[in-house]
């Protein structure tokens, strides 16, 4: 288990994967359909983690909302990240390379009805560094599902963004206190 003094490079070891959740136009850009105001602020940290992961040979896996026009999620949220639109594309500052994995998801957890777990098994992954948006929704649900599957969960607080500071901090506390994840 990692301690609070851990640096980003300390986490980039064999058996680790970097998950980049929903760093897409509709969440990151101010004119996006479901803008997360803090998302632009985490771009430098997410970009640095991606670069360090690639340099260390750690798999980088993008997990992106990609909804159908009539998705049930739109009963609670504005229409966003419609499959095949600009809104569902990763922003250019942290765009995937051909060597990265890109997984579309339709639900909050990146594990639910996606190929994520099979990719992780293929690489022999035991630790997940989770980055992206939204801390209290997709990041939190993915972290919980990861813990339920016995993955070690690591979250750098400056590489995740919530819709507001209160929900962001609540989610980080849940990751740390409820599932035993490491929040740095």
**Angle ∠(67,100,1) on CA atoms, nearest 5:** 95
- Enumerate the β-bridge partners of residue 65: 105
DSSP conformational letter for 97: P
CATH 3.40.30.10, domain 19-183, yes or no? no
Identify the pLDDT of residue 6. Answer: 62
140-148 vs 165-177: helix crossing angle, rounded to 10: 10
pTM for the complete prediction? Answer: 0.94
Give, for all 184 residues of the chain, the pLDDT tens digit: 445 566 656 777 889 999 999 999 999 999 999 999 999 999 999 999 999 999 999 999 999 999 988 889 889 998 999 999 999 999 999 999 999 999 999 999 999 999 999 999 999 999 999 999 999 999 999 999 999 999 999 999 999 999 999 999 999 999 999 999 999 9
- Could you tell me whether strands 101-105 and 127-133 are parallel, antiparallel, or unpaired per DSSP bridges? unpaired
Identify the pLDDT of residue 1. Answer: 46
As to burial, measured by CB atoms within 10 angstroms (0-12 exposed, 13-18 middle, 19+ buried), residue 173 is exposed
Identify the pLDDT of residue 2. Answer: 46
Cα(94)–Cα(20) distance, integer angstroms: 9
């Amino acid at each position: 288990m990692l301690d609070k003094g851990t640096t980003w490079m300390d986490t980039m070891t064999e058996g680790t994967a970097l998950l980049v959740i929903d760093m897409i136009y509709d969440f990151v850009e101010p004119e996006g359909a479901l803008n997360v105001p803090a998302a632009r602020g985490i771009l430098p940290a997410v970009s640095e983690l991606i670069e360090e992961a690639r340099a260390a040979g750690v798999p980088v896996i993008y997990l992106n909302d990609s909804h159908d026009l009539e998705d049930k999620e739109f009963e609670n949220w504005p229409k966003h990240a419609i499959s095949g639109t600009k809104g569902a594309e990763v922003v250019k500052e942290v765009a995937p390379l051909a060597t990265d994995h890109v997984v579309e998801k339709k639900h909050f957890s990146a594990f639910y009805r996606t190929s994520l777990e099979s990719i992780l098994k293929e690489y022999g992954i035991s630790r997940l560094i989770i980055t992206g948006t939204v801390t209290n929704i997709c990041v939190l649900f993915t972290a919980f599902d990861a813990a339920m599957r016995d993955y070690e969960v690591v979250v750098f607080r400056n590489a995740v963004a919530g819709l507001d500071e209160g929900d962001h901090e609540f989610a980080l506390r849940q990751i740390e206190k409820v599932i035993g994840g490491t929040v740095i």
